[in-house]
A = this chain, B = another copy of it.
Amino acid sequence: MGKIVNGDNMNKIDLKNYQLRTDLIVETITTDKIKNKEQIVDNIKISEVSLTEEEAKLINKKKGNYITIEFDDVSDIDNKKKVESIFASNLKQLLKKNNITEDDKCLIVGLGNEKSTPDSLGPRTIDNILVTNHLFEIGGIEEGFRCVAAINPGVMGTTGIETSTIIKSLIEGIKPDFVIAIDALAASSISRVNKTIQLTDTGIHPGSGVTNSRKEISFETMNIPVIAIGIPTVVDAVTIVSDTIGYISKHFAYHIKNIDNKTNRLIPRNRINYLNSDSNITKEEKNILMGEIGKLTDNEIKELLFDVLTPIGSNLMVTPKEVDFVINDLSLVLSGGINKSLHKKLMN
């Protein structure tokens, strides 16, 4: 059996076959060479990475700034305010890093399909954006407000037009100084679904999270800074399973170490959070536990799962069943934070 995995035809499987469909930078960083500035405020974790050209190449990402905000829950009103506030100040910083001034004109784009709940994050965020461009045209807008326009371009299936073409045309028509693009993403970790906001100045591929990759919306294609804001709202079965295989290892590492921990015996096993432990499974233990599967690297496991689930139509892209309520809460966090970071008057 081992031959199959390590043998001839297994070797033929190429890493490129497995398209990593994630837009989240955090989990991509597996090398110590890249500095990742982390801080935790109010139980919310903020990670900042600035990739130079060389670093970017190392992890197959684009050069630029990446900020990731990880939180637990925004259904609670207090939590929502905390996340919104941290998001707003990070967005403001990112604008500054891109030399965007307080008078620069902004076009906000809500990517995704309003009629498909897990994909409606962008359009729903637009619904609560404070637009002012039309007021600037007629004059008389109060001090402290920036010139902001917003659009929901729709999806190619209903417009018949590449989203990037629509954005490009509008940029030429209304001449903003920068673009903010909001989209729902595919997560590459089960634990981050609906619990992470990513900001980057490297741009975005509409639809890239889910199969069909549209043309990029970025500084390179639009000639003005493009700030992308994304939240992973879906995850595929390959990711769910490969994450779980990783968790099994950690779970066993913990329980091997704590086999004589008497307190644990009083707690139901499904309440013991083993993740915070620093115990690691040894190679031998992993081998006993999972056989040949245990010998595969993370990427090889993903490849294998892809080959197992795809041909039988089971590599579903899924979203948590509470999607309607979560998307509503998340879109309010985004629109609130964007409004505050764009209009000085609203940020106190």
Residue positions of A touching B, CB distance < 8 A? 1-2, 4, 9, 13, 17, 115-119, 126-127, 129, 131-135, 137, 148-154, 156-162, 165-166, 168-170, 172-174, 190-191, 193, 210, 234-235, 237, 240-241, 243-244, 247-248, 251-252, 255-256, 259, 265, 268-275, 285, 287-294, 304-314, 316-325
Supposing A133-B161, A172-B172, A252-B1 touch, asked if A274 and B311 sit within 8 A by C-beta, the answer is yes
A18 → chain B closest CB, angstroms: 9
Supposing A13-B269, A270-B307 touch, asked if A4 and B160 sit within 8 A by C-beta, the answer is no
A-B contact pairs, 12 of them (CB 8 A): A1-B285, A9-B265, A116-B321, A133-B160, A135-B160, A169-B173, A170-B170, A248-B304, A288-B292, A290-B290, A318-B321, A323-B323
Give complex CA distance A98, B13 in Å.
Answer: 56
Pair A244/B251 contact, Cβ less than 8 Å: no
Give complex CA distance A193, B24 in Å.
Answer: 28
| Closest A-B pairs by Cβ, 3 of them | A169-B173, A131-B160, A291-B291
Q: Chain B residue with minimal CB distance to A270?
A: B310
Pair B150/A251 contact, Cβ less than 8 Å: no
A70 → chain B closest CB, angstroms: 13
Pair A173/B174 contact, Cβ less than 8 Å: no
Give complex CA distance A158, B148 in Å.
Answer: 10
- Which chain B residues border A174 with CB–CB below 8 Å? 161, 165, 169
- Label chain A's interface by main secondary structure: helix
- Which chain B residues border A293 with CB–CB below 8 Å? 248, 289-291, 293
Contact of A166 among B117, B168, B170, B210 (CB under 8 A): B170
Give complex CA distance A159, B147 in Å.
Answer: 12
Pair A166/B151 contact, Cβ less than 8 Å: yes
Tell me which of A148, A170, A312 has the highest count of chain B C-beta atoms within 10 A of its own C-beta.
A312
Contact of A291 among B17, B287, B319, B323 (CB under 8 A): B287
Pair A17/B133 contact, Cβ less than 8 Å: no
Pair B169/A161 contact, Cβ less than 8 Å: no
Pair B314/A190 contact, Cβ less than 8 Å: yes
A337 → chain B closest CB, angstroms: 18
